[in-house]
């Protein structure tokens, strides 16, 4: 029997190489390509995260500044309501706070005071301004209600008692005023009404017949504002003694109303036209921005000095929450009142005799943050509506 020999075909070279897998060089090249791809992705993610962080921090600063400017603008548009009579403006105002029962005396009854005495409003953070804003909350006539008898320290007899209610805050003043002297008024709350007689917690005594009783409503605004510890804070002066230095660190008294606000700067908008004429004549146009609070002994009577403050210009600087390792801010923000301008040949012919620059150097690391500056000019409409009165209850108050 003949044996059959089985011959197997020779293996194909190409198939053998395919079954052999990747070589070391090929694996290393693949790993290298993968590493480059990961690095590119990580770089893109890091860049996107940085952009989101920067946009977010800038947005936070914008929102904080907008909130702060809205709150102040709302207060200032109501400032001076019920207080625009020349017999009231610039007088001191004494009363007792409802919260801590403190006896306080405000230096000047006026719509807004920039940087009042530190005994009234303690200074805020370094290189920032403070404000004291006052406004009534009543629909009663701004010319007041005539009294029918001599006032006492606790009572007023008025001609229209239905214009008042228990709980209203009332201040009274005479119908004439010696422009060379100061006046001291009392603010009191109505506790009872009997016929035409108002019983008050406090009143200005010995005012003659036909004086004016001014109703400021049940909840007038007497608010102090200051930047404290990098926040815009407000103190209700009707409730608490905001001038107490021990209260500045009490967040229940000086309440933060906008966070990361690091600067507040403010200037009076003043109508200085016609002061040399007899009588003086206002034209209702802002001629100068400054921080000089009206005082006795000026070129016009004290009340006219306040009637000529017809607006306020202010700047708020909000800071981002994000600290940057790099120096991202090389120069402090600027605003219209940052530099002095005494030229009358400018486009708007409005001078700024004294500068109020924004200075953030109180924080040694201020350059590691980003900032947003919001600047607003607010007309004091309650003063504008009553400011240029030629006569008032028989008195010439042309200002």
pLDDT at 392: 39
Tokens 């107490």: give the residue.
244
Tokens 């000047």: give the residue.
108
State yes or no: pLDDT of 179 exceeds 60: no
The H or E element spanning position 187 is strand 184-194
3-state helix, strand, coil in the chain (%, to 5): 20, 25, 55
What would the pLDDT profile of 346-365 be if each residue is shown by its tens digit?
A: 666 789 998 999 999 999 99
Beta bridge partners of 133: 112, 223
Q: Are 202 and 221 in contact (CB under 8 A)?
A: no
The tokens describing 4, both together, are: 């059959």
Using CA atoms, how far residue 278 sits from 178, 247, 275, in Å, is: 18, 47, 8
The H or E element spanning position 171 is strand 169-173
Considering only the C-alpha atoms of the chain, give the largest distance between any 2 of them, rounded to a whole number of Å.
Answer: 156
pLDDT at 3: 56
Tokens 């008050």: give the residue.
200
Beta bridge partners of 22: none
pLDDT above 90: percentage of residues in the chain: 57
- Look at residues 300, 307, 303 and name the one whose alpha carbon lies nearest to residue 274: 300
Highest mean pLDDT among 8-22, 78-92, 207-221: 207-221
Using CA atoms, how far residue 79 sits from 133, 188, 274, 377, in Å, is: 6, 19, 25, 14
What would the pLDDT profile of 218-263 be if each residue is shown by its tens digit?
A: 999 999 999 999 999 999 999 999 999 889 999 999 999 999 999 9
pLDDT at 240: 96
For the ranges 52-56, 96-100, 267-271, which has the lowest average pLDDT? 52-56
What would the pLDDT profile of 283-307 be if each residue is shown by its tens digit?
A: 788 999 999 999 887 778 888 889 8
* Cα angle, residue 259 at apex, residues 254 and 262 outer, rounded to 5°: 90
What would the pLDDT profile of 100-153 be if each residue is shown by its tens digit?
A: 999 999 999 999 999 999 999 999 999 999 999 999 998 887 888 999 999 999
Q: How far apart are CA 167 and CA 5, in angstroms?
A: 125
Tokens 């001191």: give the residue.
92
Tokens 């400032």: give the residue.
79
In sign, the C-alpha dihedral spanning 98, 101, 103, 105 is: negative
Q: Are 378 and 135 in contact (CB under 8 A)?
A: no
Radius of gyration of the chain (CA): 34
Q: How far apart are CA 377 and CA 286, in angstroms?
A: 11
- How far is C-alpha 336 from the chain's CA centre? 16
In sign, the C-alpha dihedral spanning 200, 201, 204, 206 is: positive
State yes or no: pLDDT of 75 exceeds 70: yes
Using CA atoms, how far residue 230 sits from 92, 126, 180, 335, in Å, is: 31, 10, 42, 19
pLDDT-derived band at 383 (thresholds 50, 70, 90) equals: confident
Query: What separation, in Å, do the N-terminal and C-terminal C-alpha atoms of the chain show?
Result: 144
What would the pLDDT profile of 37-62 be if each residue is shown by its tens digit?
A: 778 777 776 665 555 555 555 677 88
Tokens 């194909």: give the residue.
12
Q: How far apart are CA 128 and CA 131, in angstroms?
A: 10
pLDDT at 269: 95
3-class DSSP state of 32:
helix
The tokens describing 372, both together, are: 């947003």
pLDDT at 47: 62
Using CA atoms, how far residue 132 sits from 90, 94, 338, 375, 394, in Å, is: 13, 15, 21, 19, 31
Q: How far apart are CA 163 and CA 141, in angstroms?
A: 9
pLDDT at 176: 78
pLDDT at 129: 97
Whether omega before 279 lies within 30 degrees of 0, making that bond cis, reads yes
What would the pLDDT profile of 182-192 be if each residue is shown by its tens digit?
A: 589 999 999 99
pTM, 2 dp:
0.83
The tokens describing 339, both together, are: 């530099």
């Amino acid at each position: 029997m003949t044996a059959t020999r089985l011959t197997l075909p020779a293996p194909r070279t190409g198939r053998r190489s395919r079954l052999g897998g990747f070589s070391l060089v090929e694996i290393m090249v693949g790993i290298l390509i993968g590493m480059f791809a990961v690095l590119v992705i990580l770089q893109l993610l890091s860049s996107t995260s940085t952009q989101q962080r920067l946009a977010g921090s800038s947005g936070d600063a914008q929102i904080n500044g907008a909130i702060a400017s809205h709150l102040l603008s709302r207060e200032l548009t109501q400032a001076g309501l019920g207080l625009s009579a020349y017999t009231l403006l610039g007088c001191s105002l004494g009363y007792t706070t409802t919260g801590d029962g403190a006896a306080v005396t405000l230096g000047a009854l006026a719509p807004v005071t920039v940087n009042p005495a530190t005994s009234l409003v303690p200074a805020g953070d370094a290189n920032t301004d403070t404000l004291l804003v006052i406004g009534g909350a009543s629909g009663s006539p701004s010319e007041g209600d005539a009294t029918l008898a001599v006032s006492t320290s606790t009572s007023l007899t008025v001609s229209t008692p239905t214009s008042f209610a228990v709980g209203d805050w009332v201040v009274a003043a005479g119908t004439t005023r010696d422009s060379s002297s100061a006046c001291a008024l009392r603010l009191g709350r109505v506790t009872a009404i009997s016929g035409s007689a108002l019983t008050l917690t406090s009143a200005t005594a010995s005012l003659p017949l036909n004086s004016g009783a001014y109703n400021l409503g049940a909840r007038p605004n007497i608010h102090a504002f200051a930047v404290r510890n990098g926040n815009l804070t407000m103190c209700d002066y009707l409730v608490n003694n905001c001038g107490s230095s021990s209260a500045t660190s009490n967040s229940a008294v000086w309440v933060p109303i906008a966070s990361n606000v690091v600067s507040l700067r403010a200037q009076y908008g003043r109508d200085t036209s016609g002061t040399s004429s007899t009588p003086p004549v206002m034209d209702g146009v802002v001629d100068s921005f400054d921080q000089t609070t009206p005082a006795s002994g000026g070129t016009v009577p004290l009340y006219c000095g306040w009637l000529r403050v017809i607006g306020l210009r202010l700047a708020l600087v909000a800071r981002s929450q994000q600290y940057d390792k790099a120096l991202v801010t090389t120069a402090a923000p600027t605003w219209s009142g940052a530099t002095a301008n005494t030229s009358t040949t400018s486009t708007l012919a409005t001078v700024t005799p004294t500068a109020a620059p924004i200075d953030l150097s109180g924080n040694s690391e201020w350059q590691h943050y980003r900032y947003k500056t919001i600047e607003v000019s607010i007309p004091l409409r309650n003063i504008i509506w009553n400011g240029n009165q030629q006569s008032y209850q028989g008195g010439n108050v042309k200002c």
